[in-house]
Structure 1
Amino acid sequence: MSACLPIELAGSTLWLLAEKAIYWPAQQALLVADVHFGKAAAYRRLGQPVPRGTTATNLQTLDRLLAHYTCRQLIFLGDFLHAPESHAPATLARLAEWRAGHAQLGMTLIRGNHDRRAGDPPPELCIEVVGEPLLLGPFALQHEPTPHPTHHVLAGHLHPAFVLRGRGRQRLRLPCFCLGERVSLLPAFGSFTGATEIGAEAGRRLFLVGDGEVWSLT
């Protein structure tokens, strides 16, 4: 497995994983945001030449995490499916096969903006779908990074990334966890997603992900 970095947030210990996910030991929960299953299939339906195998890659990463960490629940912080075209038979068949391999694991999807357009996962995937926020311990689990009046927000949606700049025109954009005073962001879990560049600011802790490691920038 790749590295993990334990951090303290809202009085709880969370493990930031190099696979761009969070493990919450006290809840035995794995949190992922913005998988965007079926995005490549949706683009191919539009005639765009995009890589194949992204769904399999994302599922293989989830399998490794679930095998390594003791999990009783897997929580998706929105954007499980990318678009209506993501309901391609091959994509849904692969998801069903994967779900059958984790039949005893509770799974919850907090509906995101792409989920509202794509539609909920098929019932046979046995994924509970809820609106935001999902309150769990000190956290409000959401897709949109909107502050909550009483709980610290863990959200996705923005696909945060930070740009490291070298000499001349050298630049390296890396996904990151962005921990704020009231709202914290997970990077996009999906292997075929874009990113929103963010900067270092007061009251914000950034943890970059790259080459199988997680390290603190600030």
Structure 2
Amino acid sequence: MMTRDIEVAGERLTLHAQRAIHWAATRTLLVSDLHLGKGAVFRRAGIAVPSGDTEGDLARLDALIAEFAPERLTVLGDLVHGAATERSAWVERVRAWRQRHADVAIELIAGNHDRHFDVASLGILVRPGKVSAPPFVFAHHPEKHTEGYTLSGHVHPGVTVRDGWRRHRLPAFVFDRDVGMLPAFGTLTGLHDVERASGRRIVAVTPAGLLPVTER
């Protein structure tokens, strides 16, 4: 199953196996932690990683926009990974991608990595801190806010799932009482293991779709 509807703070949210959330009531698509240009940063440092990560991630966004036709795309922090110049190939690709989706309002809740590049120069609205979207608060860091239920990123949550004798470490959506975390959207992103706990809802992202994970 590539999508799964859940209720959070009284609202229906659609989780997608491409590591995104669609909030149909407001036609808002949410993603987090793309870390665009991370491959280029690694290659400049002499670390051999394949190219094409930015193109692949933009293509996945294209598919999500085509599927949900959102009015707004909100990135919950860390759209970019590191410093770049106007001559960086990935910058030109992202700017061209933004122009193709000129009818979609795209905003970034600034994350800790976004300080390294002027994201506004890509044609994307940058919002510092947090944004109130009742009953939610959109933020980068997974912190409780009195104004509403926090939807956030930053952690790159993951969970280990057993399949017989095999163990699979998978990206995951995590929902606690006051804070929800999206899996990192970017291809070249790691995972931070989260614990299963009472009252915590975890939905793992597998190659075959979404898998709810029960408490041990």
The bucket for the TM-score relative to the shorter chain is over 0.9
Aligned residue-pair number: 214
Q: Deviations over 1:49-104 (max 9, x none)?
A: 01110000000000001011121000000001101147652011101111111011
2:195 to 193, 199, 215: 199
Alpha-carbon distance in 1 for matches of 2:85, 2:78 = 11
Cα distance, 1:202 vs structure 2? 1.2
Unaligned runs of 5+ in 1: none
Which deviates the most, 77-86 or 66-75?
77-86
Match among 172, 182, 202 for residue 178 of structure 2: 182
How far apart are the structure 2 equivalents of 1:120 and 1:59?
19
1:14 aligns to what SS in structure 2? Answer: strand
- Whether the aligned pair in 2 keeps the contact of 1:41 and 1:86 (CA below 8 Å) is no
Which residue of structure 2 aligns with residue 147 of structure 1? 144
Correspondence 1:1-218 to 2 at 5 A: 3-85=2-84, 89-116=88-115, 118-123=116-121, 125-165=122-162, 170-218=166-214
**C-alpha distance in 2 between matches for 1:81 and 1:62:** 15
Residues 89 and 206 of structure 1: CA distance in aligned 2, closer, same or farther (over 3 Å): same
Answer whether contact 2:74 2:106 (CA < 8 A) is retained. Answer: yes
Shift of 1:132: 2.1
- Deviation readout 1:93-134 (Å, 9 max, x if unpaired): 101111111011100000001112x123152x2211011210
| 144 and 128 in structure 1: CA distance in 2 versus 1, 3 angstrom threshold | same
The one-letter code of the counterpart of 2:207 is D
Query: Secondary structure of the equivalent of 1:84?
Result: coil
Contact 2:120–2:126 (CA under 8 A) maintained in structure 1: no
Match of 1:65, SS state, is helix
RMSD: 1.5
TM-score by length of 2: 0.95
Structure 2 runs not aligned, ≥5 long: none
- CA deviation profile, 1:183-206 (whole Å, cap 9, x unmatched): 110000001101101121012000
Q: Identity of paired residues, percent?
A: 38
Could you give the per-residue CA deviations for residues 139-176 of structure 1, whole angstroms, max 9, x where no partner exists?
010000111023100000000000123566x3210110
d(CA) in 2 for partners of 1:86, 1:8: 42
